[in-house]
Structures are given as C-alpha cells and as structure tokens.
Amino acid sequence: MNDHQSFYEPLDDNELRDHLRLSLPPTNSRLGWQLDEQQILGAIDILGIELPVRIRFMTTKHGDSLGTHYSRKDWHRVTIAQNIIKPGRASEVLWHELVHCMQAERFAKRTGKSINQFHKEEYKMLDGDWGSSYQDNLLEIEANKIAYQKNINYRLCKEV
C-alpha cells in the first residue's frame, strides 16, 4: 500500500449517488455566499429530478439574467449569478432554474423525447404575446410560483 491509499476512504453508495446527481462549483460566490449541497439535493428530490444537475456560477451585470437552465441530452446545466445577488435571492433563482429541470424531465416523460428538445418544442410553444413572451410564458409562471413558495422555508444558498 502506498502513502496515498491510507488517506482515502472509499465512497459509500449514497455518497457516490449524490456525487453523480449534483455537481457544484468548487468555490463560494464572488459575494461570499455558498451553495448548500444537502439542501440542493433535497430540492432535487422534492422536485423529482432524476437526471444529473451541474450548477455553475456566472458573472453578470445588473439587468442581465440571474440564472439559466440548459437541457443537455441526459443532464441539466444550471448557471446562477454570483456577483450581484445575495443568498436569499440566489436561492430563489436556483429554485426557479431547478423547476425548469423538472419541467424538461416532465416533457421528456410525456413525449418520449430527450430533455434537450424541451426548450425548442415546449417552452417556445408556451410563449405569451410578442414583447411579453418571457413573463407570460406558462412555464415561467409555474417556475416563479414554485420558487417563491419553496424558498420561504427551504434555502439553497447560505452566508459563509
């Protein structure tokens, strides 16, 4: 046995499962708050998200998007602003984007298609009138409602 082997314990099944389900940035946000891994895993369970979620920080300006969800073939990519929002608002934004993960998987189960077809085939179909498509999109309304309700008592980001 070499020196390195004595320092490492094998992952148990739950640790391995959690690691495969969720990937987080290796650092705190630029404002110093952090993502709460256990709370986020709980949110993933609450929303019934089955595919892996990869969360990354983005740097943004006031007026830009605070979060994004991208559906890949078999995983979700979520980005969240790290430099202009405090942990309470960041938590609500993260809930919102996780709801989009749930919506993409719901679409895939209903249609038999990959989640990467969600935005093109369902999200765009539910846009509101021209000029107000984002705020009137039924999926955005659902995401905002769930995010607001869940974030009251279940925070995904915390002060360090």
Single-letter code of the amino acid located at 70:
Y
Measured between alpha carbons, how far is 55 from 57 in angstroms, rounded to an integer?
7
Every domain of the chain and the residues it spans: 5-158
- pLDDT tens, 11-53? 776 776 667 899 999 999 999 999 999 999 999 999 999 999 9
> How many residues are present in the chain?
160
pLDDT one-digit tens code per residue, 48-107: 999 999 999 999 887 788 999 999 989 999 999 999 899 999 999 999 999 999 999 999
* Amino acid letter, residue 9: E
According to DSSP, the residues that pair with 23 across neighbouring strands are: 54
Q: What is the pTM of this model?
A: 0.86
How far, in Å, CA of 58 to CA of 78, rounded?
10
CA distances from 54 to 29, 37, 68, 90, 135 (A): 16, 12, 12, 16, 25
